């Protein structure tokens, strides 16, 4: 018998989409066993099954989260343009509302006083699905802003929780590779969401935004319920601090996080909208574009994770920012829809290079700071993300090219910061400036949990 969680995770880890589809069919036809029964006597002659690894668990949750978000993302620009007559300013305003929960991500620390990261992740997925399902029912400016806010609280709280779990559960020597596998699962979810929307709109002629938004929400919450039922409890070795932690020695990490939020937000807010507004791409073409981007990302994410492990964080961050400067410059200059589409795909594929920032912090950070600092980092990441969309949306009314020239300048500033990352980051060697401004001694080592996390 094949279980949902184990087949789902192991297929992603092998990156074989065809085998994945076959196992999903078998899973649907076969009864599913809870993982905790693997050692019970009533299994009879069945061989014992090990519980799924933390990597498999994180991959499945990443798939569910991105399935809901990607479905919303593929629909929202055309929905807002056609149903609510959004322009550049309204699009920027909606993106600002979407980033407000990211700015408040530090409040996840307070939820973690009562909830474990895993429980918070499940609750966040349910909230995300609810917000997506409601979107089609409110084709007005304030309706879209409100449903975007609900969806975004779920998305950003989930991201804060799952990134904290990644830093706690993944081993340092394989963290980049495993994060690449998790990113590959997210990209495959994008592929599934975009392919489904393309088939519904282009082949079956479904034109009801309400129906598609509801289907995406139901799919996300259904998979979340299956995950709650079939995954065991996971915990890291170190008890996490249940308070907001800001340390001077994490200063370069905060700066890198701030700049990545600024540069990535420009493209996520205006990249697809430029294709709709300037080049007139319809919803089926946008879905097909997202589909191609997700397919390329699915194939490359695990390989890029291995590349990060080989290159190291410093070289990877330098490479990422050089690529982004080229993408922004191309978007500012091009008058060709084909070139813009190609740049869009390259940008999506290069997102996996951001893993280097997380592995950098994993190497320099106190193990007890992972959950709290991840929440703070999300807030830092979204400071610029809240301001940029609405301000740059006003700029886009005059000349959209200015938006992407400013993006190239921000990527250049981020490149300068990447040059400060040491080749071998570690506590006490957080930045090349550390010998001039040494950090203060940290707190005593936190106590370990009495049990080991699941392998």
Arithmetic mean of pLDDT, 375-397? 79
Segment 81-100, tens digit of pLDDT: 888 888 878 887 888 788 88
- Reading the block at residue 239, the tokens are 């008890």
Quickly count: other Cβ atoms within 10 Å of residue 399's Cβ: 10
Arithmetic mean of pLDDT, 275-298? 80
Arithmetic mean of pLDDT, 130-145? 93
Please state the length of the chain.
455
Give one DSSP letter per residue of 319-374, joined into a string: HHHHHHHHHHHHHHH---HHHHHHHHHHHHHHGGGGHHHHHHHHHHS-GGGHHHHH
Segment 185-205, tens digit of pLDDT: 988 998 888 888 878 877 777
Q: How far apart are CA 130 and CA 77, in angstroms?
A: 19
Give the model's confidence band at 123: pLDDT under 50 very low, under 70 low, under 90 confident, else very high: very high
Give the model's confidence band at 27: pLDDT under 50 very low, under 70 low, under 90 confident, else very high: very low
For residue 130, pLDDT beyond 50:
yes
Segment 200-258, tens digit of pLDDT: 877 777 778 898 999 999 999 999 999 998 888 887 666 666 677 788 888 899 999 99
Which pLDDT does position 336 carry in this prediction?
87
Which pLDDT does position 17 carry in this prediction?
41
Which pLDDT does position 46 carry in this prediction?
47
Give the model's confidence band at 49: pLDDT under 50 very low, under 70 low, under 90 confident, else very high: low
- The full set of domains in the chain, from first to last, is 54-418 (1.20.1250.20)
What's 74-137 look like in SS3?
HHHHHHHHHHCCCCHHHHHHHHHHHHHHHHCHHHHHHHCCCCCHHHHHHHHHHHHHHHHHHHCC
More confident of the two residues 9 and 378: 378
Angle between helices 88-103 and 251-277 (to 10 degrees): 150
Taking a C-beta distance cutoff of 8 angstroms, is the pair 317, 253 a contact? no
Give one DSSP letter per residue of 283-319, joined into a string: HHHHHHHHHHHHHHHHHHHHHHHHHHHHH-HHHHHHH
Which pLDDT does position 450 carry in this prediction?
38
Quickly count: other Cβ atoms within 10 Å of residue 145's Cβ: 18
Q: Which residues contact 135 (CB under 8 A, 6 or more apart)?
A: 72, 75, 76, 79, 144, 147, 148, 151, 209, 213
Which pLDDT does position 393 carry in this prediction?
76
Which pLDDT does position 240 carry in this prediction?
66
For residue 31, pLDDT beyond 50:
no
Q: Which of 189-193, 322-326, 396-400 is modeled with the greatest confidence? A: 322-326
More confident of the two residues 393 and 416: 416
- Tell me the average pLDDT of the chain: 79
Q: Which of 8-17, 240-249, 348-357, 432-441 has the lowest mean pLDDT?
A: 8-17
Distances (CA, A) of 432 to 27, 134, 375: 51, 49, 25
Q: Which residues contact 445 (CB under 8 A, 6 or more apart)?
A: none
Which pLDDT does position 1 carry in this prediction?
34
Q: How far apart are CA 223 and CA 211, in angstroms?
A: 19
Which pLDDT does position 52 carry in this prediction?
79
Which pLDDT does position 50 carry in this prediction?
64
Give the model's confidence band at 34: pLDDT under 50 very low, under 70 low, under 90 confident, else very high: very low
Distances (CA, A) of 226 to 32, 98, 137, 205, 231: 10, 27, 27, 31, 9
Which pLDDT does position 434 carry in this prediction?
52
Q: How far apart are CA 94 and CA 79, in angstroms?
A: 12
Which of these, 106, 97, 109, lies nearest to 149 by C-alpha position? 97
| Torsion sign across C-alpha atoms 32, 35, 41, 46 | positive
Percent of residues, the chain, with pLDDT higher than 70: 82
Q: Which of 59-63, 128-132, 221-225, 366-370 has the lowest mean pLDDT?
A: 366-370
For residue 373, pLDDT beyond 60:
yes
Arithmetic mean of pLDDT, 49-66? 86
Any idea what DSSP says for residue 428? T
Partnered with residue 448 across adjacent β-strands are 238
Which pLDDT does position 195 carry in this prediction?
83
Angle at the Cα of 221 from the Cα atoms of 382 and 121, rounded to 5 degrees: 45
Partnered with residue 238 across adjacent β-strands are 448
For residue 406, pLDDT beyond 70:
yes
Distances (CA, A) of 107 to 220, 244, 379: 24, 9, 9
Which pLDDT does position 37 carry in this prediction?
30
Quickly count: other Cβ atoms within 10 Å of residue 113's Cβ: 8
Rg of the Cα atoms in the chain: 22
Taking a C-beta distance cutoff of 8 angstroms, is the pair 309, 176 a contact? yes
Quickly count: other Cβ atoms within 10 Å of residue 322's Cβ: 14
Q: Which of 101-115, 327-341, 374-388 is modeled with the greatest confidence? A: 327-341
């Amino acid at each position: 018998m094949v279980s949902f969680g184990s087949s789902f995770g192991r297929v992603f880890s092998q990156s074989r989409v065809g085998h994945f589809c076959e196992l999903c069919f078998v899973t649907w036809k076969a009864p599913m066993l809870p993982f905790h029964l693997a050692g019970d006597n009533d299994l009879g002659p069945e061989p014992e099954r090990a519980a799924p690894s933390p990597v498999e668990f994180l991959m499945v949750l990443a798939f569910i989260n991105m399935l809901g978000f990607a479905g919303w993302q593929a629909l929202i620009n055309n929905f807002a343009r056609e149903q609510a007559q959004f322009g550049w300013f309204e699009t920027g305003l909606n993106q600002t509302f979407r980033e407000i929960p990211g700015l408040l991500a530090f409040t996840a620390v307070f939820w973690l006083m009562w909830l474990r990261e895993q429980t918070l992740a499940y609750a966040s997925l349910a909230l995300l699905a609810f917000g997506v399902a409601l979107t089609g029912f409110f084709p007005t400016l304030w309706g879209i802003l409100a449903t975007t806010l609900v969806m975004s609280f779920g998305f950003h709280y989930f991201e804060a929780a799952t990134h904290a779990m990644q830093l706690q559960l993944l081993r340092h020597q394989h963290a980049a590779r495993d994060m690449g596998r998790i990113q590959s699962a997210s990209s495959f979810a994008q592929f599934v969401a975009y392919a489904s929307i393309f088939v519904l709109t282009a082949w079956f002629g479904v034109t009801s935004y309400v129906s598609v938004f509801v289907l995406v929400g139901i799919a996300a919450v259904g998979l979340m319920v299956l995950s709650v039922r079939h995954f065991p409890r996971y915990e890291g070795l170190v008890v996490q601090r249940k308070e907001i932690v800001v340390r001077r020695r994490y200063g370069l990490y905060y700066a890198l996080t701030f700049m990545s939020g600024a540069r990535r937000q420009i493209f996520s807010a205006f990249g697809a909208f430029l294709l709709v507004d300037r080049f007139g791409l319809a919803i089926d073409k946008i879905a097909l574009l997202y589909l191609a981007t997700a397919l390329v990302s699915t194939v490359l994410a695990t390989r890029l994770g291995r590349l990060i492990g080989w290159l190291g964080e410093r070289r990877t961050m330098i490479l990422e920012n050089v690529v982004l400067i080229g993408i922004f410059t191309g978007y500012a200059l091009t008058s060709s829809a084909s070139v813009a589409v190609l740049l869009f795909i390259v940008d999506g594929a290069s997102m996996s290079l951001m893993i280097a920032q997380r592995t950098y912090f994993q190497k320099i950070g106190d193990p007890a700071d992972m959950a709290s600092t991840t929440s703070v980092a999300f807030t830092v990441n979204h400071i610029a993300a809240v301001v940029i969309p609405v301000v740059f949306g006003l700029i886009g009314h005059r000349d959209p090219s200015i938006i992407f020239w400013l993006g190239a300048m921000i990527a250049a500033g981020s490149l300068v910061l990447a040059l400060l990352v040491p080749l071998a980051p570690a506590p006490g060697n957080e930045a090349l400036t550390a010998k001039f401004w040494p950090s203060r001694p940290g707190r005593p080592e936190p106590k370990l949990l009495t049990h080991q996390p699941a392998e």
